Structure 1
Amino acid sequence: MVVPTYNEAENLEWIVGRLRAAQPGVDVLVVDDGSPDGTGQIADRLAAADPHVAVVHRTEKAGLGAAYRAGFRVALDAGYDVIGEMDADGSHQPEQLYRLLDALQDADLVIGSRWIPGGSIVNWPKSREALSRGGNLYVRLLLGIPVRDATAGYRLFRRATLEKIDIDQVRSTGYVFQTDMAYRTLQAGLRVVEVPIEFIERVRGDSKMSPDVATESLKSITKWGLRERARQVKRRLRRT
């Protein structure tokens, strides 16, 4: 399970401990982007005490997508057949990981979803819920994909999925990485399954989401959507 971190000193030991307790057979890879608050040192201490925990230290804060790409590459090179992702802030509950693992039997990518029946959120203001729901509706309409929570970050990929979509060619660096990966998986003809989770807003530390991050995501999704519509028009013209 790849867990990216930036200034998560208050949360890292707590969430890794919960993950190791909930799923003792799951290895953890912390990818720290040079956190100035000592998160990297905490990760090193956890790795020294537990052979199922490893750390990748990056020298700069280069975005969520870049951190995940680095972690996925390390996991692929190490030979893992299933590679997951989750936040370090406790919003993704390790105790619900079994839901994703069970669903992977019939999927190439499993997404822990807030916006399907059975999914829920805790401690979000209505404004943020509306933003997330609206953003995901925009993704569905513009990209034409059936995923209800394309922006979700609790996921499991099969090794073959990451290889088929060629993770090394993915260039998304911010939060739009999540939408990009779901879109690429579907474009490759692979199966995406959503399972319901309870998403809990962090209670310690600061969120990395900002208006600039949201704007960057919308711009990228709009560009991809217009490109997809252009391809559809060309295909129709060739048939006539």
Structure 2
Amino acid sequence: MPTYNERDNIVPLIRGILEHAAGRHMVLVVDDDSPDGTSQVVEELAAQYNQDGRLRVVLERRTDEKGLTSAIQRGIDLALERYGADIVTWMDCDLSMPPQDVARLVQAIVQGGADVAVGSRWIPGGADVAHGVMARTLSWLINHFAILMLGNQVHDYTSGFIAARSQVLRAIRLQGDYGEYCIDLLARAVQAGFQVVEVPYICVPRTAGASKTGANLWDYLVKGRKYVATVWRLRRIANRHKIANRHKNV
């Protein structure tokens, strides 16, 4: 769980995840030294949940680096290397992604046999009621551009609500500054032959704090340009692979 100034959301989110989780599990919070005291709140919660010696809530406080993608990657690395995780999930920490749906993503892997499970707003049963018309329209356009260029194995390339087996995350490291990392990860997972499935979820409005997705149209356009550039790069790579395979078969 990558956090920055999510003091008011992080406790109900962690409690919700732990309430619905099954099997052995842990919540790992990677906080970018939030000035609102997010890390202190997590430490207090960890003291409550870890009293029996079992680590259920763990805090990693970063003071040397900031940014969404690197925070998620730090959490992945810790989960795999320090704690021996078989499956790693991550999500936004503003309660827009319902905590009870984490278990549904994990279930798609454990029981459904998927390698990657994606929380999707753009398949039947899913929806985005968190954002305004402008944000939803831009998201729809970017995702349909990605589908056109990269294939329709995924309909929500910008989800950010992911569960994946350790094998996938050892093979593919995250790239990008912000949400474009998700497009890159999902496209490369499909290209590598991993089974990617989508699980519908309803994205709901955050209950507290300020959104980091986009403050205005200019912010959306700047991030959108990176998304489009990532899609175009991945399409060129896929085309080069197709050409190389044709030459091998001649």
TM-score (norm 1): 0.90
Alpha-carbon distance change, 103 to 216 in structure 1, aligned in 2, over 3 angstroms: same
| 1:86–1:92 contact (8 Å) kept in structure 2 | yes
Q: Which residue of 1 aligns with 2:233?
A: 223
3-state DSSP of counterpart to 2:160: coil
In the TM superposition, what whole-angstrom CA distance separates every residue of 1:148-170 from its partner, at most 9, and x where no partner exists?
0111122211112212x243xx4
Q: Which among 74, 84, 95 is matched to residue 89 of structure 2?
A: 84
Q: Return 19-28 or 88-97, whichever deviates more.
A: 19-28
Q: Which residue of 2 aligns with 1:34?
A: 33
C-alpha separation between the residues in 1 aligned to 2:17 and 2:248?
52
In the TM superposition, what whole-angstrom CA distance separates every residue of 1:167-197 from its partner, at most 9, and x where no partner exists?
3xx4323211111111121122110010111
Residue 120 (structure 1) shift: 1.4
3-state DSSP of counterpart to 2:13: helix
Q: Which residue of 1 aligns with 2:57?
A: 53
**CA RMSD, 1 decimal:** 1.9
| 1:145–1:183 contact (8 Å) kept in structure 2 | no
Q: State, as a whole percentage, how many aligned pairs show the same letter.
A: 34
Unaligned segments of structure 1, at least 5 residues: none
Q: Which among 193, 198, 206 is matched to residue 189 of structure 1?
A: 193
Residue 60 (structure 1) shift: 5.1
TM-score (norm 2): 0.86
In the TM superposition, what whole-angstrom CA distance separates every residue of 1:8-37 from its partner, at most 9, and x where no partner exists?
112111211221222265310000011111
3-state DSSP of counterpart to 2:2: strand
Q: Return 37-46 or 210-219, whichever deviates more.
A: 210-219
3-state DSSP of counterpart to 1:207: coil
Unaligned segments of structure 2, at least 5 residues: 51-55
C-alpha separation between the residues in 2 aligned to 1:205 and 1:39?
12
C-alpha separation between the residues in 1 aligned to 2:103 and 2:17?
11
C-alpha separation between the residues in 2 aligned to 1:178 and 1:118?
21
Q: Map 1:1-240; keep pairs closer than 5 Å.
A: 3-23=1-21, 25=23, 26-51=25-50, 52-59=56-63, 62-77=66-81, 78-104=83-109, 105=111, 106-163=113-170, 165-167=171-173, 170-210=174-214, 211=219, 212-236=222-246, 239=249
3-state DSSP of counterpart to 1:84: strand
3-state DSSP of counterpart to 1:42: helix
